[in-house]
Structures are given as structure tokens and as C-alpha cells.
Structure 1
């Protein structure tokens, strides 16, 4: 009997065939997304049957419909198992970033994936903060270690799962990057948005006595000092007016 034959009937010792196999999948999938159906498929062979068109295996990062949603500084187009169902079962995801002149990708984390980022045009200034306990020269008195690099075209840098990191385009021309992830659902959490979404008392406690509850709104747009200075200088150099 060939491998992969479905519902093959084998005669029992009494000469009576067993009843037909009952499908474990609901008879109605009309309410399920394609991604959900792919998750419920019994085998990889069944998943391919749910993707009958060859173009379902191509994701277009240049699709204009996907652009213009990432903010004033650029776009980040993500291919995950929701936007690209063919990724189900691969354990992988990818994103392409387009940062305009002086564009800044605010500090964020990926809760379920490590990012390997390759700059494909232009250059990026990157910063990454590892976990608690990682200090300069392994000494707590020297403060947290912030891994800072200028990453040029066709160079790569890693951002470890859960690490806070950011990217800034210091030039007057656009920059692009490609990022791969070891997850189909890597997720993203913008640190400033998440922190300041908490109650003012929690935010005040996070900053100690340096921030009064009434001052919370003043810090909602806060970004790392080094990046802020770089943005200021870039705007002046490129003749871009502040909004």
C-alpha cells in the first residue's frame, strides 16, 4: 500500500471490513480563517491541499496596498502566519522595513522571536539592550550595556528575543532592511506605547521620584538620548522641518 493513502480499508481476520474512518476535522470550515484551517490539518499533505494556487506561496513586500500604514517615518511590512498563511508549519517569519530620511523605529521588543536584520540599502544606527544583569565591563557600577552599531548595506546584526532595540536612519536618503525571525508569530511591542499605557501611578513608580504623575504626557514621546540627538542633527542636515 503506498505511503500517504487515505482511509485504506484492510480486511479483518473475520473477513468483515471495519467501518470507514471518521474525520476528526469539522465538516464546516466556513467560520475558520485559512490560517486556522492550516493549523487543524492532519498532515502537511493536507495543508498543501488547502493552498491550491501557486501564488499563495509568494508574499509581495512591495505591494503598495501594504504601505503607508507604518507611520510618518516609514513602513514595516511583516510576513507572519496571519498575513502569509503558507508560513504555517515553517517556524519562520520575515519583515521588510522602509525608513525614510531621519526615520526612527521606536524602541520595541519581539516577544516570540529573535530577529536577524540585514540592511539592504543605506545604513542604520541600531541600539539593543540585553536583559537585566548585562553591564558594561561586567560591572554594575558602569551601568547597563547598550549595544550600539552603525550597520551598513549588506551587514547584519541580531536582536535577541525579548531584547529592547531600535533603529534610526541617520541619512537624507531612504534606508531599507530585511529581518528574519525564528517564529511564524514573532509579534512586536512598542516599549513607549506599552509603558505609558499603564496608569500614571505605575509610570511614576517605574521612574522613581524623577517623574511626577502630572508629567506623564510630557514623556510619552521620549526616546533614547543618543537617538534623539541623532534625529535632531539629521533633521537640520536634511532641511526637514519638525512637525
Structure 2
């Protein structure tokens, strides 16, 4: 199954990789917004969270620039230095104008063969739309959702999205995105939470005690070998799958 191959590649690729390489940005790192994003102090964020009325928030956000978030600004990226791309996310901490809106947003810049490793959002459902290139998406729902063609297997919802096509990733579901081409791809993701959060499944799994990890993998990984994997699992956007890398000779593998 494609999802299983992605998991395997995520582990094996970074077992043999050396230091990470920062992929070039898909867009220019220099902001093109006419009004730059203006930071808001921690005290101001607390005032916004405690404001008795929505109209009181406008008094705290007294500069029009407080209502602009520039996804192209290098300083606002939440996952800089990814192996296969970068991600910028707007939440209520780095964009306090969202406080009270119940909404958040992210933009993902996947380089050729870029792979946003399997992850979950603990507090939100994600609606993702591709705005440039092609992206393969996969989602594994909760326990008990089985493949209609083979009820003995979990259902994996896989789709290939092209420009302006969208798919949902439900709150708490494991999902992933992969750019199968040698050219960059970009997606925009909206969330029904100001604090959607994210947890990378492999990174979190290997954070457990080594004996727990070994048991979770059915002893396929010896407890003594767990430390070899830790620190080599990519935090977010990785560079894989091997079939894609093999057809894109201009993409460096480390």
C-alpha cells in the first residue's frame, strides 16, 4: 500500500542521510505585501484573549498592519529548513488578529519530491487546496474504518490533487502530502481553530522509550537500534519518495 511505502521511506531515507539540506523557496523570501506584518506584544495578546467584547479587540489592534499576515516572510515560517520544502502557519500567537475568529491557515511550499510527513492536527479539521503543481494526499481515519474493497485492512483515502482541487483532513486523522513531480508545488490549508497544532507521527513515536518503540513495531526494530533512528526522523517536510527522486536527478538527496 502506498501509505506503508511512505512510512518505510521516511524511516530508511533518514537512517542513511547526513546533515539536512535546506531546499530553495518556491517563492521569493522577500515580502511583497504593501503593508508588512506587525508583531503584537505578549501583553497585547493577553488583552485580546481577555477582551469582554469583540469590539474591544480593535482597540488593542490599533494599527492596520496588525491585520496583515505575510506567508512569504522568512521570519514567519514555522518549519524552516525542511528537507523538501517549507511551511508557514498563521495562528493566534503569531497572528493575534485571528483571536476570536476560530480560524487559522497555513501555506506549504513543497519542492520537487517534497514530502510532508504523516501528522495529525489535534484541535482542527484541515481543508487543503492545491494552488500550484500536483500533490498526492493520503489520510487514515480512526480505528474501525476499513477498506470497502478489503474489510481486513484499514481504509487509506488517497487522492492526486491538481491546481484548485481540495480535500479535507479530519481532526485527529493521520494524513500526509507528497509532491510526485520534479517541479515545486504549493498548497493552502485552512483550519477551524486559531490553535490547530500539529504532531508528526514518526517523530512522536520515536520519542517513546526504546522498548516501547520496539514493541510497537512488533520487534522489527531492536530496542538497541532505536537511538539510531532518533534524531534522523525529519521534523516536518522531508525529501522522498525514492521513485520520485530516481526520476529527478537534479534533486540532491541530502
Q: State TM-score, norm by structure 1.
A: 0.79
Q: Which residue of 2 aligns with 1:60?
A: 70
Distance 1:238 1:207 in 2: 32
Q: Is the 8 A contact 2:206 2:213 kept in 1?
A: yes
Mark the CA change 1:237 to 1:116 in structure 2 (over 3 Å): closer, same or farther. Answer: same
Distance 2:144 2:129 in 1: 28
Q: Is the 8 A contact 2:203 2:233 kept in 1?
A: no
Mark the CA change 1:104 to 1:178 in structure 2 (over 3 Å): closer, same or farther. Answer: same
Tell me the CA shift for residue 205 of structure 1. 1.8
Q: Which residue of 1 aligns with 2:179?
A: 169
Distance 1:138 1:36 in 2: 51
Alignment counterpart, residue 187 of structure 1, candidates 175, 182, 197: 197
Alignment counterpart, residue 137 of structure 2, candidates 126, 136, 139: 126
SS in 2 for 1:62: coil
Q: Which residue of 1 aligns with 2:88?
A: 77
Q: Is the 8 A contact 1:133 1:140 kept in 2?
A: no
Aligned pairs, how many?
Answer: 208
Structure number with bigger Rg: 1
Q: Deviations over 1:20-62 (max 9, x none)?
A: xxxxxxxxxxx94322210111211211100001111111111
1:105 pairs with 2:113: no
Distance 1:207 1:76 in 2: 30
Q: Deviations over 1:178-221 (max 9, x none)?
A: 00000000000011110000101111221223332123245556
1:200 pairs with 2:210: yes
Distance 2:42 2:87 in 1: 27
Q: Name stretches of at least 5 consecutive residues in structure 1 with no aligned partner.
A: 1-30
Distance 1:104 1:77 in 2: 15
Mark the CA change 1:90 to 1:197 in structure 2 (over 3 Å): closer, same or farther. Answer: same
Q: Name stretches of at least 5 consecutive residues in structure 2 with no aligned partner.
A: 1-40
1:216 pairs with 2:216: no
Distance 2:181 2:70 in 1: 26
Mark the CA change 1:150 to 1:218 in structure 2 (over 3 Å): closer, same or farther. Answer: farther
Q: Is the 8 A contact 1:134 1:145 kept in 2?
A: yes
